[in-house]
Structure 1
Amino acid sequence: MPLPAWLSAVSGRRWVVGVFFGLLALLGLALHGDYGVSWDETNNHLNGLVNLKYISSLLPAGSLLRYHPTFATTPNIREFPDAHHGPVFEISAVILSYLFTDHDPRSYFLLRHLLIFSLFLVGAWAVYRLGTSWLRDWRWGLLTAALLILSPRFFAEAFYNGKDIVYMAFFTLAMYTLTRLMQQPTAGRVLVHGLATALAIAVRVQGAQLLIFTALGLVLSAKQAEGRWQLARGYVIYLLVVLLGVFSVWPYLWAHTVPELLDVSTHAVRYPWPFTNLYMGQFLSVGQLPWHYVPVWMAITIPLPYSLSAALGLLVALKHCRIRGSLTQLTESGSIAVLVALWLLAPLLVVMLTHTVVYEGWRHLYFIYPALLLWAVQGFRQLLHWSREPGLRLAARLALGLALLETGHTAWQIVQLHPYQNVYFSFLPAAKAERLFERDYWGLAYRQGLEWMLAHDPAPVVTMRALWHYPLYNNSLILKPEQRARLRYTPDSTARYYLTGYRWHPQPYLDSLGSEVFTIRAANGIKVLSVFRQPGR
């Protein structure tokens, strides 16, 4: 489908794409220091240290490295309960930190946040390439990448979510290399796709589903060309590359027997998360979550034009599907459409039907979001087509106008909410969102709370406490050393300050905590942090 005249005027693919991603890189450099340290980051960092400690024990100088101050308090790989989590990013972050920083925690986390954003850009580039290939025009691909950037929650988490965002980036990259393999199944493309798959699996073991997507992709391409045995051999080589790639970057696999490794997949699907989720105003354990938990979270956190346009794109594709009872009628574009549809829908249906453990929103399914955006652009293209049809022109143009206005408003919200885009809700008013759903479950706002206390309290030692000490400790690590030295965590009521991000406590606090001396509200009105001070302290 051709682009409208006003958009066709945009030419010069190379420099436009270069400027787009170059400006994003500069934006990441400018903003990566603005976010706090999320709940999981210290444990993820420890996972990298655990794996490096095990690697060091295998080296000739391992006995010396094991007693390095960094590793002296690091658990052994068989004793660390989260050692089965994919370590490839965490190992890389630790090594780069040792090479390029002064080894202070603040330096590590600033570098870590920049690395996560860099990989997010890799994912944005991959979805741009996917969109260009499938939609047959680089400008549609660039629009898809732009929608990923203009997704408030994803923009924020692109700086600190080293699990779900990194996994999404590698999964998207692997889906792109798969489409290239389908187009031309050469040995080089088999190797590249195998390595991309290995990277995704080495972040989350659920990346193994790429093996199924790859088999399906090769079947679809085999229906259109001769040489099916060649494709089968290519798949076998692909499997070997994946196995070797995953094994080479995952020390956990070296340290355990095969029966022990079989427990990894079960543990990953039924992760024993002991906390509760605030969902629809109720606190529910992971075993109590209803089937609609993920769809509802998606609806309230994805900008409405994206969701509605994706639904339109899927419905129109379904209506115009002319397979005639055989996959042999699929074109190359149709084969990619099948993959992108399954990429979006299959994982979602599996979670809904099997009650796979998810928590803290739908972050475990972030990897399907690029597929949703690809279908959103398809829906947008359909509206453009209808806007030229006499019978549908008015309705289509009205829908396009509203979508553009809302997308512009979403971009403005990213600016207004900074650095709390993680509490963006697409249509819920603040009071209802606070009452029904989790707010800052990453605990990022504690950083600003700590900075406020240090700036407004002249005492050489500032005592503080919270319901859980993790967000206080984590966010203290990104402060300057002289600031950290003034903070002291005191678990009892003798602490001068009490900080809360309202996790597991959506209702107001009692006066016994003291007076509320500092409050952080995001630009959308959602309260993300309160600091209380005990009188006389």
Structure 2
Amino acid sequence: MEKLEQVRRQIVVVFFAAVFLLGMFLAKDYGMPWDETTEFGIFAANIKEYARVLEGEDSAFVRWADEKDYPYISEYIEKDHGQSAYYPCTPWFIKYGYADDMRSLSHAWHRYTFFVTFLGLLSLYAIIKLLLKDWKYGIVGVLMYWLSPRMFADGFYNNKDMVFASLLLMVAALGIYFIETRKIRYAVLLGIAAGFAANTRVIGFWVLGLVGLLYLVVLTAQKQWNRSNFLKGVLIVVVFAVTFFLITPACWPSIVGYFQYVISQSMDFVRWEGSLLYQGQMFGNSFRTLPWHYVPVLIFLTSPLIFLMLMVAGHVLTAGKFLRFREILNGCEKYYLLLMAIVWPVLIYTMIGDPVIYNGWRHLYFVYGPFVVFGARALQVLMHADSKWIRRTAACAVGGQMLYLVVIMAIWHPNQFGYYNLLAGGNVEKRYELDYWDTAAASCIRHLVDKVNPTEPIVIGAYDGYSYAGLPWGAMVLPKEYQDKLIILPEDTYLTADYLFVDTTYREITEKRYEMQLGGYEPFDYDSWGDEYYSEDFLDNRLWVVYKRKGLE
């Protein structure tokens, strides 16, 4: 038995080491979303606040931030966007920021984003292993999460939604382990993790509150109220409050004012006045609100089908057990209830409360980890079925789904964000959003240069401003040998370019905005200007299209 346990540990260590090394290697392949420099600014605004307190307003960092027009976070409109999870990046940020080396900074940022995602994977493994009492399903659950193309890609560059999703898994794991063991180390770590989660998203308060509520219910139901358990609960609250205050300089001038601002922005994010594409129609705050089914439909369309079926089955299975009310607080059922309580009220609110959501369902990525837990539970039930046919079918279906995902993500790397399953149907680029804020521009430029293999720099441009925004950021993260082969024209001189770049999502959005007399760009006849030369794809979905000017040799 001891030898088997040693082998198990070795397998788990090797597995996670392989995931970590692969992620760190792949991080450099992803482009820079056009809001990444804004995120750098928010991060700098936080560090500037610390620099003022620790070193004074004449410190080197404050002077550098002033030169870059980075305000103090307490005075910044973006103070509701916490960046505390990235504080360990400060040395790299200073090194590359002072040198204006945006390429190295972006790569370091992406690697660190993956590191936080990796911590989320470890937490997911810990949750599933405890609830299902089998480490193998922990590994399978991690693969279900990480091999879901949207989660995979966003885990490298989405410093808001994927980071919060990982922090939520940490809070859930630490909360569950604390309630199970009552160990002080879990109480302290839970308070710290919850502080970082609440700094990143206000929903972090909700998550810790639910963990605390479950703790109180368990103590009451099991008649375990005593001084020790009470003080451990107090310890969590104190550690959380101190952590949150120390890592949230935006609240230092006025805690009440800070929370008033954050809550108002969470309920009605008026700063975003953009448009989004859903089911071939245009939606926006000022002219057409999203239908209630926006989030659930996109979750169904962008999740691998076998995983999705397991998640649904896991919910049904768990709900059936809840019908036997007395069993809820016994064993692990209470933790499934906790996970449901974390995600479903928020999901329901997005369907009936008309919040501001855009770029797909990324704001709700934190629900996916708990969903995977339910999927792993359903798989375990199937694998313990009496019928050998059921067991083999389940194993083949999950294994086949994973193999398929590995193959397509390898072939169309790094454009995994463009994944839609079979339920989406064809002609996706005309009906749904694909690229995440021009992130695929970098790989599109790189592949074009490889295809042309020019001896002289090629001249590139874009007709619409949204596609154009991706070109300088995309080129910036490429190696110098690629940058030296490019000349990026100013936006208004696109007609003289050798190659025109088009982000298909923003082409649809801008043309539809023009048709609706909401601004945008008048439709441009690309086929008259040039010939389609290259497209950056994921499966049959075209994220970017490049046109070559007619007559160009």
The structure richer in helix per residue is 2
Query: Partner of 1:62: helix, strand, or coil?
Result: coil
Question: Residues of 1 paired with 2:365 and 2:192: CA distance?
Answer: 21
Q: Determine if the alignment matches structure 1 residue 307 to structure 2 residue 308.
A: yes
Aligned amino acid, residue 438 of structure 2:
G
**Cα shift at 1:258:** 2.2
Residue deviations 1:8-63, cap 9 Å, x none?
Answer: x9972210111001111221232111111123211111111122222222233531
Give the structure 2 partner of residue 244 of structure 1.
242
Q: 1:487 to 1:47 in 2, by over 3 A?
A: farther
Of 170, 178, 186, 1:173 maps to: 170
Q: Determine if the alignment matches structure 1 residue 52 to structure 2 residue 52.
A: no
Aligned amino acid, residue 289 of structure 2:
Q
After superposition, the CA RMSD in angstroms is: 2.9
Question: Residues of 1 paired with 2:75 and 2:545: CA distance?
Answer: 37
**Cα shift at 1:248:** 0.8
**Cα shift at 1:484:** 4.6
Give the structure 1 partner of residue 105 of structure 2.
108
Of 498, 504, 507, 1:505 maps to: 507
Query: Is contact 1:513-1:532 (8 Å) kept?
Result: no
Question: Residues of 1 paired with 2:62 and 2:55: CA distance?
Answer: 14
Residue deviations 1:339-376, cap 9 Å, x none?
Answer: 12223423212222222221111111111111111110
Q: 1:536 to 1:491 in 2, by over 3 A?
A: farther
Q: Determine if the alignment matches structure 1 residue 139 to structure 2 residue 133.
A: no
Query: Is contact 2:432-2:505 (8 Å) kept?
Result: no
Of 265, 268, 272, 2:266 maps to: 268
Of 521, 538, 541, 1:526 maps to: 541
Q: Determine if the alignment matches structure 1 residue 416 to structure 2 residue 411.
A: yes
**Cα shift at 1:523:** 4.4
Gaps of 5+ in 2: 512-522
Normalising by structure 1, we get a TM-score of: 0.89
Query: Is contact 1:152-1:413 (8 Å) kept?
Result: no
Give the structure 1 partner of residue 340 of structure 2.
341
Question: Residues of 1 paired with 2:59 and 2:343: CA distance?
Answer: 49
Query: Is contact 1:430-1:524 (8 Å) kept?
Result: no
Gaps of 5+ in 1: 1-8
Q: Determine if the alignment matches structure 1 residue 492 to structure 2 residue 500.
A: no
Query: Is contact 2:80-2:261 (8 Å) kept?
Result: no
Aligned amino acid, residue 31 of structure 2:
G
Query: Is contact 2:29-2:443 (8 Å) kept?
Result: no
Residue deviations 1:402-454, cap 9 Å, x none?
Answer: 34323322232222221111111121467332222111133122113333566
**Cα shift at 1:460:** 5.4
Question: Residues of 2 paired with 1:516 and 1:183: CA distance?
Answer: 64
Matches of residues 396-435 of structure 1 in structure 2 within 5 Å? 397-428=392-423, 431-435=426-430
**Cα shift at 1:535:** 5.1
Give the structure 1 partner of residue 519 of structure 2.
none
Residue deviations 1:171-201, cap 9 Å, x none?
Answer: 1011000001111224332211100101111
Matches of residues 223-302 of structure 1 in structure 2 within 5 Å? 223-227=221-225, 230-256=228-254, 258-272=256-270, 273-286=272-285, 288-302=289-303
**Cα shift at 1:517:** 5.1
Query: Is contact 1:513-1:534 (8 Å) kept?
Result: no
Of 448, 451, 464, 2:446 maps to: 451
Give the structure 2 partner of residue 5 of structure 1.
none
Greater Cα offset, 354-363 or 471-480: 471-480
**Cα shift at 1:203:** 1.8
Greater Cα offset, 164-173 or 260-269: 260-269
Question: Residues of 1 paired with 2:242 and 2:422: CA distance?
Answer: 46
Aligned amino acid, residue 499 of structure 1:
F
Question: Residues of 2 paired with 1:399 and 1:408: CA distance?
Answer: 14
Q: 1:441 to 1:18 in 2, by over 3 A?
A: same
Q: 1:261 to 1:321 in 2, by over 3 A?
A: closer
Give the structure 2 partner of residue 4 of structure 1.
none
Residue deviations 1:61-89, cap 9 Å, x none?
Answer: 53142564454123312553223201113
Q: Determine if the alignment matches structure 1 residue 472 to structure 2 residue 471.
A: yes
Q: 1:256 to 1:378 in 2, by over 3 A?
A: same
Matches of residues 124-135 of structure 1 in structure 2 within 5 Å? 124-135=121-132
Greater Cα offset, 450-459 or 167-176: 450-459
Aligned amino acid, residue 96 of structure 1:
W
Residue deviations 1:245-284, cap 9 Å, x none?
Answer: 1111122112446234312122023212211121111011
Query: Partner of 1:277: helix, strand, or coil?
Result: strand
Question: Residues of 1 paired with 2:489 and 2:438: CA distance?
Answer: 16
**Cα shift at 1:236:** 3.3
Query: Partner of 1:504: helix, strand, or coil?
Result: helix
Q: 1:67 to 1:288 in 2, by over 3 A?
A: closer
Give the structure 1 partner of residue 78 of structure 2.
82
Question: Residues of 2 paired with 1:309 and 1:318: CA distance?
Answer: 14
Q: Determine if the alignment matches structure 1 residue 17 to structure 2 residue 12.
A: yes
Query: Partner of 2:46: helix, strand, or coil?
Result: helix
**Cα shift at 1:467:** 2.3
Q: 1:523 to 1:356 in 2, by over 3 A?
A: closer
Residue deviations 1:69-126, cap 9 Å, x none?
Answer: 4541233125532232011134433433435897611111111111111111111110
Q: 1:470 to 1:241 in 2, by over 3 A?
A: farther
Query: Is contact 1:42-1:474 (8 Å) kept?
Result: no
Question: Residues of 1 paired with 2:264 and 2:16: CA distance?
Answer: 39
Query: Is contact 1:498-1:532 (8 Å) kept?
Result: yes
Aligned amino acid, residue 227 of structure 1:
W
Query: Is contact 1:446-1:472 (8 Å) kept?
Result: yes
Normalising by structure 2, we get a TM-score of: 0.87
**Cα shift at 1:478:** 0.8
